[in-house]
Amino acid sequence: MEFWNEKAISSHTEPVLKEVDVVVCGGGPSGVAAATVCGRQGLNTLLIEKNGFCGGAAVSGLSGTICGLYLTQEDIENKEPEQVVFGFAEEFKKRLTEKGGLTEPQIYGNTHVLTFDPFCWREVADDMLEEANVSVLYHTLVSEVSKDENTLTAIRIESSAGNSYIKAKAFIDCTGDAALIAKSGLEYTFGDNGAIQNPTMMFRVSNVDSPAFYEYFGKDTICPADCTRKLSDAYAKGTYNTPRDRVWIFPTPQESIFLMNCTQLAGQHGEMLNVINPEDRSHAEISGRRAAREYHRFFKDNIPAFNESELIDMAPEVGVRQTRTIVGEKQLSNEHVANCTKCDDSIARSSWPIELHAGEVSKLQWLTNDYYEIPYGTLVPKDLRNVIVAGRSLCAEHEALASSRVTAQCFEYGHAAAVATGLLFEENCSYKDVTVNELRTRMVANGSSL
């Protein structure tokens, strides 16, 4: 990637379009939470999003599920779901339910997930941002930043209208790619010595025979052993190009429409795809669409519940699990996650498994009957006083990130970043120096469980 200029610090000579208190870059779960909570605190807030709607990988990548809300439990079929994450995540969940855009909890291995309607997700985000008086610029990209020593002063934005600058006192990087960090020239990492998780092309199929599906699949959304065997045999024989043989299929809020998490994408010769690089990402998009079509062909031909099904929808873009990870004031370690460690400066809980999609075989390590807590400092990049990160770019080791990157936790990272922003203004300090006990107190008052 030597020919891509990631560091993009501007001399700031073009006209300023707006001056605001805080800019939130990226409208995924963390970005919607961050912008909404900033707006509710009376801060003049602007959200910038590259697509024409909010949702990030949850919607444009069609991940389709809210993961991370519930405790992992043994003997799951005989247990009621036990929710451990609330706050903004719970509020968004309720708003989706009110619109008829969310399923009841479904079994996923040893925990539960919820499947949502992506159209309802967009509408809920729009409503909440508007109610909080947040200004939104869709179809807008951040191309450069302006810095004064360790303080960001402005960002350069690009759209079909041209280029201009936004000045702000604080910036929340919810891009998922740590774009502000990279453009500021700060240090970051890529996964495990450069090896990141595989992207996936999600898709939806209609006209599935639901009774036949449940008879074959059972209650678990992770495919049964017989399905894995059929996928593996078909791939070994060369009948179908189905290299991933353990797939997940989720009922949706719409009758007989199912969400398919089947593909595991790699380069032309099986190599890892670095989806920050547009060449790799373009390959992922093209090969992902072909892979989705191939997996649907397999299910239609081999699993009776899908005999009459139709492939009706693919994700607008490939689903990305991991790109850049910041170097923060604290790091979420693999050991911290595996041991379900608690901490005094926690801003979120997680009982989600270490769900690592890398290489040929995925890893799924359950954190049974317990949860860990994520420290505030994992959101705070070193060497920038007025920038905080929320979302999958938090400072975490490779396997720790494979657990902590999911939707419910991202909602709460955005929530925490916004409350920290309010304190940054009140206390006239850097993000590193905000009073964490007060941040936690305010999050609890907003409904979070800490």
Q: What pLDDT score does 3 carry?
A: 42
Label residue 322 by pLDDT band (50, 70, 90): confident
Q: Taking the model in full, what pTM does it have? A: 0.94
Q: How many CB atoms lie within 10 A of CB 268?
A: 8
Q: What pLDDT score does 1 carry?
A: 38
CA–CA gap between residue 63 and residue 304 (Å, rounded): 25
Beta-strand ranges (E) seen in 197-246 are 203-206
- Tens of pLDDT, residue by residue over 34-76, are 999 999 999 999 999 999 999 999 999 999 999 999 999 999 9
Q: What pLDDT score does 10 carry?
A: 63
Whether the per-residue pLDDT at 27 is higher than 50: the answer is: yes
Q: What pLDDT score does 279 carry?
A: 87
Share of the chain above pLDDT 70, in %: 94
Beta-strand ranges (E) seen in 187-323 are 188-190, 203-206, 248-251, 258-261, 310-314
Label residue 327 by pLDDT band (50, 70, 90): very high
And the tokens for 224?
Answer: 């049964």
Q: What pLDDT score does 361 carry?
A: 55
Whether the per-residue pLDDT at 8 is higher than 70: the answer is: no
- Tens of pLDDT, residue by residue over 227-280, are 999 999 999 999 999 999 999 999 999 999 999 999 987 666 666 777 788 888
Share of the chain above pLDDT 90, in %: 83
Lowest-confidence pick of 172-181, 274-283, 310-319, 340-349: 274-283
Q: Please, what are the domains in the chain?
A: 16-191+324-445 (3.50.50.60), 203-314 (no CATH)
Q: What pLDDT score does 268 carry?
A: 60
The answer to whether 146 and 10 are in contact (CB under 8 A) is: yes
Q: What pLDDT score does 7 carry?
A: 63
Q: What pLDDT score does 274 carry?
A: 77
* CA 2 vs CA 137, 277, 325, 401: distances in Å: 31, 10, 19, 26
CA–CA gap between residue 335 and residue 103 (Å, rounded): 33
- Tell me the three state secondary structure of residue 408: helix
- Tens of pLDDT, residue by residue over 101-148, are 999 999 999 999 999 999 999 999 999 999 999 999 999 999 999 999
Q: Find residue 314's DSSP bridge partners.
A: 203
As a whole number, the mean pLDDT across the chain is 92
CA–CA gap between residue 36 and residue 415 (Å, rounded): 8
Q: Find residue 22's DSSP bridge partners.
A: 45, 170
Label residue 362 by pLDDT band (50, 70, 90): low
